[in-house]
Structure 1
Amino acid sequence: MTAQSARIALIGNPNSGKTALFNALTGSRQKVANYAGVTVEKKEGLVTTASGRTLSVLDLPGTYSLRARSPDEAVTRDAVLGRLAGEATPDVLVCVADATNLRLVLRLILELRQVGRPMVLALNMYDIAQRQGLRIDIEGLSREIGAPIVTTVATRKRGIDELVAQLEVKVAAMDAAGELTGQNEWREPTAAEIREAHAKAQRIMKTYVRPPEHPDTMTGKVDAVLLHPLAGLAILFALLFVMFQAVFAWAGPLMDGTEAGIAWLGGAAATVIPDGLVQSLIVDGLIAGVGSVLVFLPQILILFLFIILLEDFGYMARAAFLMDKIMGGAGLHGRAFIPLLSSFACAIPGVMATRVIDSKRDRLTTIMVAPLMTCSARIPVYTLIIAAFIPERTVWGFANLQGLVMFGLYATGILSALAVSFVARRLFWRGQVEPFLMELPTYKTPDPMNVLRNLWLRAEIFINRAGRIILPLNILIWVLATFPAPPEGAEGPAIDYSFAGQLGHMVQPLLAPIGFNWQMSVALIPGMAAREVAVGALGTVYAVADAEEHVGTLAGALSVDWTLAMGLSFLAWYVFAPQCAATLAVVKRETNSWLWPSVMFVYLVALAYLAAFGVYNAAVALGWG
């Protein structure tokens, strides 16, 4: 620590509002990376005090104890104790507590006292505690734990200045002392010491915290409905149904506008750039390829909007509780619900989120089935094929048929994940699934700025992905689809004579039993790097091949060139399609072995081929070939 800087660590229970406090402290001055050697996410930001001192604030993963049971909790423990390679020891600890639920955090505070670092307790959500008439003896509690207490409402930035002032006092005292005060006395406690700490926490709670005069009965009343074994599940499935319907219904106008803008850009570029290779590269390679993926950004953001809102409302933990019995019957731990739900956005954060599962076997099972969840990278593929072959009409008087098909594809992925986990638990590692324990947070109103910040971050990630991965791959596809030029007097489209055409024709016989033509075969290859690139590859291939002569859109071109059986086979393949290279790399890092990503790749290829084979041949038998 220098005279003008210090390192602050935020630590607290899950659902204590710790990340909201981090956002209130640091605002836009934050960055996200990973800790060295692990895939646990590291959030760090800067705050400047009134005197001009810079504080580096670290948002640590939530934990109930320094006795780490999961990789996330291990990172928090090691960061607090200064054991992380390449990471400086925190100068001051800020324990963030939900003011309405101090029971569990008191045991964590007792452990943090043993670490010997200066500490400040931030009583967050204090406005809710006041509304409930919860009486906390702040002065007495502060004396008991040996640390100053600041009341905060992170979502409204109340108490932030007071917290920063307290941190500055602590840091200034350390500067004056010239060294860290206190000795680290923490060690793994015995069972007897855990019971003793629990009893002490109970005594502190009883002494300094009085029961609320106006208890939160609304949460109990709402939970009586939302957690009902039948009504709760019905509401959960209805929410999921609405979410997938909205992905189509709400995004339609935005997608049409985006598509029109991309078409205008392509036309404008074609009028400015002379005919030739440069025009083909810009219009067919860049605009047609990347544009055919960017058009799906509205759908992806709508999906993320639902997930963020459900998390912020406090419903996500309830959904996990509701799904525990169903998932337990399939051999999955109840905590697997949140990683699997995260995988609807992207399998990478889903795989990384399995660190909240304590048991290594349960964590590995969840990792292996996470790719079967329909990630956002599949949405462009699904939407393209559905638009090409499924008519846009209303069924049952209220449901969009295209949305129903999309819902069916998501449901197929979910059921497949449950089936694979059931088989894995029975064949490879038998044993009972550990019981599911989770603290249910109180219901909260989402902070609009936090929701918008998260949505912007997701849009940024998707667009960045389009720039870093999709753009160069589409340029590669354009090169493969353009060169070599056909010989003089050659018949048929020029792309037949290109490297892409040759490669597609070479692979196509292996995929002929599932109805794939050579263009589909070409699209699968770059799709291994990022699945949404398959759409860009098809856009590039068909643009180069002048398929737009038939119909002005890629979906129209496919509806002319493919049969319904081929389209359904392509959808079936992508329900189980092998993971993108980035996901396989993350699985390798999470499991610290090449065995499991190899097993994942092989079993997904086998499932995809078998599913596509069955669907294609069934569709042909029904006369759709």
Structure 2
Amino acid sequence: MSSPAAAALAAPQLSLSLVGVPNCGKTALFNRLTGSRQKVANYPGVTVERKEGRLTGPRAGRLFRVVDLPGAYSLEPATLDEAIARDVVLGRHATEPAPDLLVCVVDATNLRLSLRLVLELKRLGRPMIVALNMSDLAAQRGYTLDRAALERSLGVPVVPTVAVRAGGERALVEALDSYRFPPATLAGTAALGVEPPPAASAADIEATQREVRRVLNEAGYRVPARLRMLSRLDAVVLNPVAGPALLAVVLFLMFQAVFSWAKAPQNLINTGVQWLNAALSGVLPQGPLRGLLLDGVIAGTGSVLVFLPQILILFLFILALEDSGYLPRAAFMLDRLMGRVGLSGRAFIPLLSSFACAIPGIMAARTIPSSRDRLATIMIAPLMTCSARLPVYALLIGAFIPQRAVGIFNLRGLVLFALYLAGVASALLVAFVLKRTVMRGEYRPLLLELPEYRWPHLQNLALGLWERTRIFLTRVGTIILSLMVVLWFLASFPAPPAGATGAAIQYSVAGFLGRGLEYLFAPIGFNWQISIALVPGLAAREVAVSALGTVYAMSGAKDVAGALAPVIAQGWSIATGLSLLAWYVFAPQCLSTLAVVKRETNSWRYPLYMAAYLFALAYLGAFVTYRVALMLGGGAS
């Protein structure tokens, strides 16, 4: 009687491809099957990882060359990973042999998601086994499934596996060892490549969904009652009418809270800054050090520090929505709108990240497979209202928008919501123009696996808020503080000439710079103090608030360290305040963002284009806003 080792010497090596949707446990199963007998490299010419291993059957002694293919939702590729998986499965990849057997790994706790791919693979006519992974977890959570009925409905073997447990692959190994291959496969004469399936029409997709439902019904697949209830919740959250309405309500509440909840902690910070300013005023003698500490450091950093509560409230909502599983559903809902302007559905996550900061949003655009879609996303990311804009918005809204209710809403919260909406609308408009002119490309819908709903974890929220606090205080203590010290020196020297009657800053380097820039910005209502603040504000948007605090403190204004908003409300017209709000909706006042764009595109051309078009939009938006406000009587300070 021959041993498995002897049989292995005589048996042909069979090619086996593991295929499945992302996060189905496919790679864990690959590791169980092949152990340490693996080779890891990249597919030629791309950075997609290729994993290959060896498996020997314990009884028949069959030799398998096992390849772990990249995750794919469908044979119609939307990413480079999916394109490679499709080409290998079809036997049309230049460096991979056609697979003799497909093992489609499916997640037993999310079977509906995988069945479309299973049905597409079955239509190819290749030998196939379905590995029903996480079957133990499905049983623990209360899922019911008749494996034999599923096998009959699909017409292919279905084998339960538990990839994370030792021995959880044993049933699959035995099925592979005893699989009845066509004689041509064992003889090495089977046909290699197959034709790719035609692009699916809407009718084809609907037919596939009906077949998925049929298979699930015949297999007796039932999800736990709790998850069925959550599915009914999704029917509302993802509804084309109710979903956007719910999202609008959530955003309204968020922006209302930014002003309503922040009042008490802001007053506390204001009191602390005023106390520190008064304490130092009483002990410091007149001289440069007193001016540096009171007018430069305290007035500058205190002016922006007071907005920390509003930033934390905004991020509390964002973190809670993300941790609860709602944000991916918002992405899914807005995908259709993004498709109408030509943006890839995959652009949503980078753009969503840009609400915190444009830099990680721009870097996240690397995940977009199309170079034109990626570039379009990068070019509009700075139009998303990042957290650095919030101190500017909060200062100007607090100074020029009255604290009163409009129905059940706070007027200031409504204005803040409108500013965020203006940034999104302008980004979509710019994307619409780019995608129909210089960056034409095919729209690719967003394929997204929606996570389960869950209550936000308090620890996650606390850690996220602490991280935002640390980042903010670090910026205040480094970038903002250092720039305020530099600005104080520029605003203090040279000293005013003998007999000068104006504030000392008017005769300084900063004063001359502000007077020069005032000629450029006067048509949009900016005075020389605003013009000065815009210069250090190029480093980071929130620095402009600190710069205004320093400039007005050195111009002789009282109590700037405690409250800058009343000072500018008395000195500016409403038209000027609204004009500056419009400016900050568009202005690319963040040199770090431009530097990251240069790094991501490997060219100075695109950051220069970005700066040019954003400054043009900012000037135009501020000009129109200022002129309209003047016509409506907003010219008096």
1:359 matches 2:359: no
In 1: Cα distance, 2:391 partner to 2:543 partner: 9
Counterparts in 2 of 1:146 and 1:623: CA distance versus 1, 3 Å: closer
Counterparts in 2 of 1:224 and 1:501: CA distance versus 1, 3 Å: same
Residue in 2 aligned with 1:450? 460
Counterparts in 2 of 1:416 and 1:550: CA distance versus 1, 3 Å: closer
Question: 1:281 corresponds to which letter in structure 2?
Answer: L
In 2: Cα distance, 1:367 partner to 1:555 partner: 34
TM-score by length of 1: 0.70
In 1: Cα distance, 2:461 partner to 2:193 partner: 42
Which residue, out of 321, 345, 366, partners 2:356? 345
Greater mean deviation of Cα atoms: 529-538 or 141-150:
141-150
Residue in 1 aligned with 2:410? 400
In 2: Cα distance, 1:597 partner to 1:532 partner: 21
* Structure 1 residue 145, shift from structure 2 partner: 7.6
* Structure 1 residue 213, shift from structure 2 partner: 6.0
Residue in 1 aligned with 2:602? 592
Residue in 1 aligned with 2:295? 284
Q: After superposition, give the CA deviation of every residue in 1:446-469 in whole Å (9 maximum; x if it has no partner).
A: 221122112211211121122221
* Structure 1 residue 210, shift from structure 2 partner: 9.3
* Structure 1 residue 479, shift from structure 2 partner: 1.0
Residue in 1 aligned with 2:63? none
Aligned-residue CA RMSD in angstroms? 3.8
Which residue, out of 498, 502, 514, partners 2:524? 514
Count of residues in Structure 1 that have an aligned counterpart in Structure 2: 486
Residue in 1 aligned with 2:444? 434
Which residue, out of 420, 440, 464, partners 2:430? 420
Residue in 2 aligned with 1:163? none
In 2: Cα distance, 1:246 partner to 1:348 partner: 26
CA contact under 8 A between 1:142 and 1:149: conserved in structure 2?
no
Which residue, out of 272, 276, 281, partners 1:265? 276
Which structure 2 residues correspond to residues 227-238 of structure 1 after superposition, within 5 A?
227-238=238-249
Q: After superposition, give the CA deviation of every residue in 1:504-561 in whole Å (9 maximum; x if it has no partner).
A: 0111101111111100000111111000000000000001111127996211110111
SS in 2 for 1:101: helix
Which structure 2 residues correspond to residues 140-155 of structure 1 after superposition, within 5 A?
148=165
Counterparts in 2 of 1:255 and 1:98: CA distance versus 1, 3 Å: farther
Question: 1:557 corresponds to which letter in structure 2?
Answer: V
SS in 2 for 1:548: coil
Greater mean deviation of Cα atoms: 346-355 or 531-540:
346-355
In 2: Cα distance, 1:485 partner to 1:71 partner: 63
Counterparts in 2 of 1:146 and 1:431: CA distance versus 1, 3 Å: closer
Which structure 2 residues correspond to residues 594-613 of structure 1 after superposition, within 5 A?
594-613=604-623
In 1: Cα distance, 2:80 partner to 2:196 partner: 23
Q: After superposition, give the CA deviation of every residue in 1:78-108 in whole Å (9 maximum; x if it has no partner).
A: xxxxxxxxxxxxxxxxxxx98733787999x
Residue in 2 aligned with 1:573? 583
In 2: Cα distance, 1:545 partner to 1:16 partner: 64
Counterparts in 2 of 1:392 and 1:13: CA distance versus 1, 3 Å: farther
CA contact under 8 A between 1:551 and 1:557: conserved in structure 2?
no
Residue in 2 aligned with 1:617? 627
Counterparts in 2 of 1:143 and 1:443: CA distance versus 1, 3 Å: closer
CA contact under 8 A between 2:549 and 2:561: conserved in structure 1?
no
1:409 matches 2:419: yes
In 2: Cα distance, 1:70 partner to 1:493 partner: 61
1:377 matches 2:388: yes
Counterparts in 2 of 1:441 and 1:144: CA distance versus 1, 3 Å: closer
1:333 matches 2:344: yes
In 1: Cα distance, 2:364 partner to 2:233 partner: 28
* Structure 1 residue 236, shift from structure 2 partner: 1.0
Counterparts in 2 of 1:331 and 1:281: CA distance versus 1, 3 Å: same
CA contact under 8 A between 1:70 and 1:355: conserved in structure 2?
no
Residue in 2 aligned with 1:101? 110
Counterparts in 2 of 1:447 and 1:125: CA distance versus 1, 3 Å: farther
CA contact under 8 A between 2:304 and 2:546: conserved in structure 1?
yes
Question: 2:354 corresponds to which letter in structure 1?
Answer: S
TM-score by length of 2: 0.69
* Structure 1 residue 339, shift from structure 2 partner: 2.0
SS in 1 for 2:485: helix
CA contact under 8 A between 1:348 and 1:586: conserved in structure 2?
yes
SS in 2 for 1:573: helix
In 2: Cα distance, 1:223 partner to 1:440 partner: 10
Question: 1:528 corresponds to which letter in structure 2?
Answer: L
Which residue, out of 568, 582, 588, partners 2:592? 582
Counterparts in 2 of 1:374 and 1:277: CA distance versus 1, 3 Å: same
Counterparts in 2 of 1:335 and 1:258: CA distance versus 1, 3 Å: same
Counterparts in 2 of 1:491 and 1:237: CA distance versus 1, 3 Å: same
1:533 matches 2:550: no
1:310 matches 2:321: yes
In 2: Cα distance, 1:534 partner to 1:124 partner: 57
In 2: Cα distance, 1:353 partner to 1:380 partner: 25
In 2: Cα distance, 1:230 partner to 1:448 partner: 32
CA contact under 8 A between 2:146 and 2:221: conserved in structure 1?
no
Counterparts in 2 of 1:257 and 1:99: CA distance versus 1, 3 Å: farther
Which residue, out of 503, 506, 518, partners 2:513? 503
CA contact under 8 A between 1:123 and 1:149: conserved in structure 2?
no
In 2: Cα distance, 1:136 partner to 1:273 partner: 82
SS in 2 for 1:433: coil
Counterparts in 2 of 1:190 and 1:344: CA distance versus 1, 3 Å: farther
CA contact under 8 A between 1:100 and 1:134: conserved in structure 2?
no
Q: Percent identity, aligned pairs only?
A: 54
In 2: Cα distance, 1:190 partner to 1:287 partner: 72
In 1: Cα distance, 2:617 partner to 2:373 partner: 22
Question: 2:619 corresponds to which letter in structure 1?
Answer: Y
